[in-house]
Structure 1
Amino acid sequence: MARIFTVDEARSLMPAVLRHADDFVAVRADLAELTHDLRHEGESPLGGLAEAKGLEARMDETLSWFDDQGIEIKGVAPLLVDFPALMEGVAVRLCWLEGETALGWYHRADLGFPGRRPLP
C-alpha cells in the first residue's frame, strides 16, 4: 500500500527532497551536455560513454531515493514530485516542482497538475 503523508510529514522531508533534487538537476544537466557533445562533436570535456552510463546510474539512484520514501516522481524535466495525502477525506497529492523552495501546493489525485492549488 502506498504511503499517505500528512502535510507536516511531507514538509519535514523537504530538506532532503531539496538536496536530492539539487543533485538530480546537476547530474541531469551534465548528462544532457555530455550526450549532446558526444552526438555532435564525438567527444566531451565531461567524458565518454562510461561517464554517461555513470551519470545515468546516479540519476536512477537519486530517483530511487524518492521512491523509497513513498514520494511519486511525476516528471524529470522539470523535476516534479507528489506526496500522496488525504485532505478532508479526499485523495490529493502534495505537489512540489523543481525551483520551488518549499512545499506549498496540492491537487486532487484525479486532476493532476492542472488542478494545482496553494496549500491552505
Structure 2
Amino acid sequence: MFTIYTPQTANKALPEVKRMFAAIVAQKNRVMVLQSELQAIVESGGDFERFMKKKQELNTAVTGLYKAIEALEAMGVMIKSVDEGLLDFPSKRFDEEVWLCWKAGEDEIKFWHGRDEGFMGRKPLESTGIIEP
C-alpha cells in the first residue's frame, strides 16, 4: 500500500508503527544471538547435527525478520536504520515529495526532511507547508 502521510495521519499510525518496529528490533537481536551461537558451534568443532539445527533456527529467524520489515514497509513507512531507530513517512510539502521523520524514543512526528536529505537535514514541522487533510 502506498500512502502519503500528513503529520496527523503519521501520528495516528505511530502507536502501531512503534509496536511493529519494536518487534523488528527484537527479531534482529534474536538473529544476532543465533549467528553468534552458530559461530560458536563452528569454532568449537561441533557436530553436523548441532550445526544444522542451529542454522535452520537462524534461517527461520532471518525469514521472520524480513517478514516483519515487509509488514511495516507495506504500511508505506520506510525503515532508514534499524540500529539507529530511524523511520520515514512519505509526505508532501506543497508539491515537493518529502519525508516525515521519526526516531525511536520520540513521542510523535515532529520533523521532516527533503527526499535527498537524511537525518542531519531534519527540520521542525512548524510552518512547513506540509499538506493537511
Q: 1:21 to 1:53 in 2, by over 3 A?
A: same
Q: Specify the SS of the correspondent of 1:48.
A: helix
Once the two structures are superposed, the pairs formed by residues 1-120 of structure 1 within 5 Å of their partners are 2-39=2-39, 41-42=40-41, 48-120=54-126
> Normalization by structure 1: what TM-score?
0.83
Greater shift, 11-20 or 80-89, is seen at: 80-89
The size of the alignment, in residue pairs, is 117
In 2, the alpha carbon distance for the partners of 1:38 and 1:102 equals 39
> What TM-score do the two structures reach when normalised by structure 2?
0.76
Please say which structure displays the higher CA radius of gyration.
2
Q: Secondary structure at the match of 2:4?
A: coil
RCO higher in 1 or 2 (8 Å CA, sep ≥ 6)?
Answer: 2
Name stretches of at least 5 consecutive residues in structure 1 with no aligned partner: none
Moved more, 93-102 or 61-70: 93-102
- Deviation per CA, 1:62-113, whole angstroms, max 9, x where unpaired? 1111221111122232332210111233321011223334322211112222
Detail structure 1 runs of 4+ shifted over 6 Å in the superposition.
Answer: none
Q: Which stretches in structure 2 are left out of the alignment for 5+ residues?
A: 127-133
Letter paired with 2:4? I
Structure 2 Cα separation of the partners of residues 101 and 61 of structure 1: 25
